[in-house]
Amino acid sequence: MFSIKGDDTMRQAAKSMKDRAQSLHEQSLVIDGMGGYGFPFEDILAGDIHATHVTLAMYPSDGWDYVLNQIKRYYGLMEIYPDRLVLIEEAKDILKAKKEGKLGIIFGFQNASPIGEDVTLLPIFYKLGLRIIQLTYNEANAFGCGCMEKTDTGLTSLGVQFVQAMNRLGILIDLSHVGYRTSREAIEASADPVSFTHGNPSALKDIPRNRPDELIRMVAQKGGVIGLTPYAAFCKSKPNRRPTLEDFLDQIDYVVRLVGVDHVGIGTDKFEGKTKEEFILEVQARYPKLIKTPFEHRHVEGFSHISQFPRMTEGLLTRGYPDDDCRKILGGNFYSLFQRVWKRPKF
């Protein structure tokens, strides 16, 4: 049994680690590779996050009109709160957001469905601020197959054109929900690095939504970033037990060992602000075999609210990650990726 003096020493050590983590977190550039939508931005700012990737479209029914309404909403918020929010169009905008104490908004699609089959629409979306597109969302579309399809026929000829158009404009290709063959062919077809903005290794949780080691290596070899997610349904855990923050950190350890720290980031998939009814009707009803976690436990224990993001920094430090490696994982790697991929087209 510990003595009172021993207990005091442990408490002091824990406080010292927490203070060190908070200081490092505040100094770091923090980027959420997938924040989702449902946008309580003050809560996100409370997590000392400087930029978050928001979802403008996700399901096949999310068409042109839906996207424009989403953009209108975010533009409206930025107009109302210019001192709190800013649209991210270039990587350097994230540095400015941090300096000014604002939250940077990165527009993304989790499904290329709003494009339909007309790749020439892409420059219009780019001009409106779109910087990340996931080719498919679980199911197939005109460009390729999602991870939930029984048969993945790969990247279509239109998908190849789409990849080339994204490279030309400077839009990051996201393969988080994309099928295995389609992902592999998209990586090979892309001239630029690509990303899993939010996904975990299937070696630790074997479900279609997670990513096999081969694809993780291919993304890293291309110069891309794998954003590990604390979303409980995709996280390593023991049977009949909610995964913990430690389980999430195990996934970071695994991918760091697999491909190196320069290719690891965090994508919370938090969708902070989503109601229980929305979660059940929009997510669990669509994918009952995949999403079995209750609403209250949809993220790992220890990360129930986006403001708890600094706990990840503390966890990384506790596991012995050097400060520089922590900075890379918290956002530095995503920032470097954006610098490489996002470019200003000449039009």
Q: Residue 12 has what pLDDT?
A: 62
6 is a domain residue: no
Quick check: is 267 in a domain?
Answer: yes
Residues lower than pLDDT 50 in the chain: 1-2
Paired tokens of 92: 């350097």
Q: 1 lies in a domain?
A: no
Domain span at residue 235 reads 27-341
In a domain, 21, yes or no: no
What does the pLDDT read at residue 7?
60
Instruction: Say which DSSP state 114 is in.
Output: G
Give domain status of residue 10, yes or no: no
* Start-to-end CA span in the chain (Å): 71
Cα separation, 288 vs 328, in Å, equals 35
Examine residue 167 and state whether it is found in any structural domain, yes or no.
Answer: yes
- CB-side exposure of 148: number of CA atoms within 13 Å? 13
In a domain, 8, yes or no: no
Question: C-alpha distances in angstroms, 88 versus 92, 141, 214?
Answer: 8, 28, 32
> Does residue 22 lie in a domain region?
no
How many distinct structural domains can be found in the chain? 1
pLDDT of residue 142: 96
Calpha distance 130→82 (Å, rounded): 19
Domain at 38, CATH number: 3.20.20.140
- Contacts from 236-240 at CB under 8 Å and sequence distance 24+? 236/200, 236/204, 236/205, 237/205
DSSP result, 51-113: EEEEEEE-STT--HHHHHHHHHHHHHHHHH-TTTEEE--STHHHHHHHHHT-EEEEEEESSSG
Task: Supply the pLDDT for residue 281.
Answer: 80
Q: How many CA atoms lie within 13 A of 50 on its CB side?
A: 24
Q: What is the DSSP secondary structure assignment for residue 120, as one 8-state letter?
A: G
Contact 60, 113 (CB under 8 A): yes
Q: Are 322 and 21 in contact (CB under 8 A)?
A: no
- pTM, two decimal places: 0.93
